[in-house]
Amino acid sequence: ADIICQIGPGLFGVRKRNGEFSWEEFKRKSRLDQIKAFELKLAQGAKTRGGHVDGAKVSKEVADIRNVEPGKSIDSPNRFHEFSSVPDMLDFIEKLRDVGQKPVGIKLVAGHPDELHELFSYMKKSGKHPDFITIDGSEGGTGASFYELADTVGLPIMTALPLVDTLLRQYGLRGQLKIFASGKLLTPDKIAVALALGADFVNIARGMMFSVGCIRALVCHTNTCPAGVATTDPKLQKALSVEEKQHRVCNYVISLREGLFNLAAAAGIYSPIHFSKEHVVYRKEDGSIVDIDKLIHQFVS
């Protein structure tokens, strides 16, 4: 498998037992051939408050992977202690890239445009930038967060994505990094629109969860997931049969790809990578349509 190793504020997988960042653990991870890049998770649409895992879910295996104590609840901070400003963050990224010798990106949820201006302005001035930015929309889903945060904090992906793409172009940075998009992009049509609005790649979590049996029971945090997806209970885990689910996941990916190429053919292009803003129009509630470039320009300016 090709893996992007995500580093959250809890630093799981690259931390010391006391919670501090461990450069030795990071070096060990960077030596793994399967890990192709690292991603600093500044925020995600579903959990803008940090994370919590009840002790009942922290098995010995989970504890060994995260370098925490088995059976003890885990609380993740909602921000990194390793940096507290844009310059410090970019310096940290530079060091990660230098030590790990692999690409390093960031994952964020777009909010007020002024914050993006501050970030991109310093990137332009300093010449320092991540290798990619993952934009997560406020649509991000979980059964283990506060609804007022999961439902309302941050911009939706179809608003955030063209905003980030446009501002990166304004600052002359777009050619220096890639954009990943995520947030309910679980069908070919949504993926096609995301590619048209500036994404180079898409991340899919929800669709993959459904394909392995998630029924949205909304008990992810209780260790009682009846589908076996979000539990470490050996009895409940039996529902997640790898021998069976691998075919479901494969069928989902193949169907996604076929649907995406069907849309590309309908649009008269050879490949989905050629979707662009000219393929998208926005229909208002009164039925009138607006060119997407004009809509984005109004929002950015």
Residues 192-225 have pLDDT tens digits of 999 999 999 999 988 999 999 999 898 888 889 9
The confidence score (pLDDT) of residue 67 equals 87
Backbone angles phi, psi at 285, to 5 degrees: -65, -30
The strand order across the sheet containing 3-7 reads: 3-7, 35-41, 104-108, 132-136, 178-182, 201-202
The confidence score (pLDDT) of residue 1 equals 82
For 28-43, what is the mean pLDDT? 95
> Whole-angstrom Cα distance, residue 265 to residue 19?
51
**How many other β-carbons are positioned within 10 Å of the β-carbon of residue 22?**
18
CATH superfamily to which 3-300 belongs: Aldolase class I (3.20.20.70)
pTM higher than the cut 0.85 = yes
Q: Distances in Å between the alpha carbon of 34 and those of 23, 30, 147?
A: 19, 9, 35
| Beta pairing class for 201-202 and 178-182 | parallel
pLDDT-based confidence at residue 295 (cuts at 50, 70, 90): confident
Q: Where are the domains of the chain?
A: 3-300
> How much is the mean pLDDT over the chain?
90
